[in-house]
Amino acid sequence: MSVKRIVSPTAREALRRVKEELGPDAIVVSNKAVPDGVEITAMSADSLDALSASATSHRNHQRAQPERPAPEEMDDDYTVSLSAKAHSQMPFRAWSPAQTVARSADTGKSRPRPLPSRAEAVARFAESAATSQFSPAPGSQQSGTGGAATPQVVQLMNEMQSIKNLLERQLAGFAWGEMSRRNPAQAMLLAELLDAGFSSALARRLVDKMSAEMSVADGRKLLANTINRNLRVSTADSDIIDRGGVFALVGPTGVGKTTTTAKLAARCVVRYGAERLALLTTDGYRIGAHEQLRIYGRILGVPVHVVRDSEDLRRTLVDLRDKHMILIDTVGMSQRDRMVADQAAMLTRAGEVKRLLLLNAVSRGDTLDDVIRAYAGEDLVGCILTKIDEAASLGPALDAVVRHGLLLAYVTNGQRVPEDMHLPNRTYLLHRALKLSGETSPHRLQADDAGLMVAMPGNAISTQGVSVD
């Protein structure tokens, strides 16, 4: 049996040596951190075949023998493949009948039937993976067996997924430790971005722009410049009020759509007069929603029209086609509400309606991602960041805007109409986004916290689909 113990400074170097010495079909038996780096114990694919044949012969021999007292249970052995060929051998697991007898004696239950043959286990594993993605439904039929998957096969598949997650976390932890040793400035700035609320996907892309010789101060300037370069904002020359058109303000409940509609209306009235503006509302759900907008309309001298469906909206827009700007206050609904798609369809059927998405700056980054995905569409021309005065950090909000490539049209910071709405100021936004919390804050990352975050399952591939210039 060809089993080797390989010690290398890094996990990547160790895996390279495994492939060179044992071939591309080698199997990793175990790995652990040692003072010299990483220790990996691996075996060749031929050795695994020999071990499989030996275990099968041992099982057949044990079945022919009378039952003996169960020995102490041994630790389970797990294998992780490095190739497609080795992957096909994964369903085999060295599980002796003696272990099954011991577990039956401990639980007081009858002895379960023995594991199927290796060929049968491979067939069941492939069928289960193709039909249920490692989670077969109760009672599902397996091709060629005529029955449901055995508990051992289901357990094996779950354990394989757990092993995969553990190895991903270990390798990510090794990568973080290697980065901290080789490039401490890059590791420090990555931790600062995570502390400020940026996603690990964007944070990694940003620090990849740094050179190994760059200092922390120069690195901070580079990060700020890179974010600034990828942040799309409206300017005085591209203000949507000057462009005019039909705009529907959409977003979740409580994000400030009605108040923001009034702020935009007030700015338009100041520049073009009340006769060039029209206000519409589709919000028939909230008590007093129409009245709130009507009050703003009376103050500004602008009539408010109530529409109930796409046909009503289309006719109203035709009647108001001579207006410079038409603002539509829509119904607020959760991003997970199925009516979000119906609302988008209604606006699309009405004609040339552009949507402005309102994002709450106080929300978490993953919540903002959900909102943007739910309200995405070709007619989404930009977003407005609301309640920036209530947010401790603007990192999560700017992170979502940059990653999704949205145009930031306005920011709002209060309830006053129209004073508390402004065109985006890049310097102010970057300062708020990159500002770290106080040293005594319980939310401040400590020591190796950033390494733990990087090593979380899934973060190793979280940079896919994220690009920065």
pLDDT in tens, 174-203: 555 666 566 678 878 888 888 888 988 888
What CATH number is associated with residue 338? 3.40.50.300
pLDDT in the model for residue 114? 54
- Same domain for 380 and 266: yes
- Whether residue 28 is found in the same domain as residue 119: yes
Whether 319 is covered by a domain: the verdict is yes
Q: SS3 of 64, please?
A: helix
Q: Are residues 107 and 254 in the same domain?
A: no
Task: Tell me the chain's radius of gyration from C-alpha atoms.
Answer: 31
Whether residue 190 lies inside any domain: the answer is no
Locate tokens 């499989």: which residue? 52
Which pLDDT score is estimated for 175?
A: 58
Q: Give the residue from 115, 134, 164 where a domain finishes.
A: 164
Number of C-beta neighbours around residue 406 at 10 A: 21
| CB atoms near residue 76 (< 10 Å) | 10
Do residue 272 and residue 415 come from a single domain?
Answer: yes
- How far CA 90 is from CA of 27, 28, 45, 125, 461, in Å, comes to 10, 11, 11, 9, 23
Q: pLDDT tens digits for 48-85?
A: 666 666 656 655 655 555 554 444 444 444 344 444 44
Spatial separation of the C-alpha atoms in residues 87 and 81, rounded to whole Å: 5
Q: Are residues 141 and 264 in the same domain?
A: no
Q: Look at the chain and report how many structural domains it folds into.
A: 2
Length of the chain: 469
Q: Which two tokens stand for residue 273?
A: 């007069």
User: Token match 């990547």: residue?
Assistant: 12
Average pLDDT of each block of 10 consecutive residues along the chain (469 residues)? 78 82 78 82 72 61 53 42 44 42 45 52 50 45 54 81 69 58 76 86 85 84 92 90 92 90 94 93 64 87 88 90 92 81 84 91 92 90 94 92 94 89 94 78 58 52 55
Residue 275, domain extent: 232-436
Instruction: Flag whether the pTM goes above 0.85.
Output: no
Count H helices, E strands: the chain? 18, 13
Same domain, 343 and 422: yes
Residue 420 lies in a domain: yes
Position 406 in a domain: yes
Q: Is residue 197 part of a domain?
A: no
Amino acid letter, 378: E
Q: Which two tokens stand for residue 185?
A: 């400035």
Same-domain pairing of 245 and 375? yes
The DSSP letter of residue 277 is E
State both tokens at 174.
């090794």
Residue 456 corresponds to which tokens in the numbers above? 């979380």
CA 469, CA 455: separation in Å to the nearest integer? Answer: 26
Closest by alpha carbon to 293, among 279, 307, 274, 276?
279
pLDDT in tens, 365-421: 999 999 999 998 888 999 999 999 999 889 999 999 999 999 999 999 988 888 899
**164, 186, 211 - which closes a domain:** 164
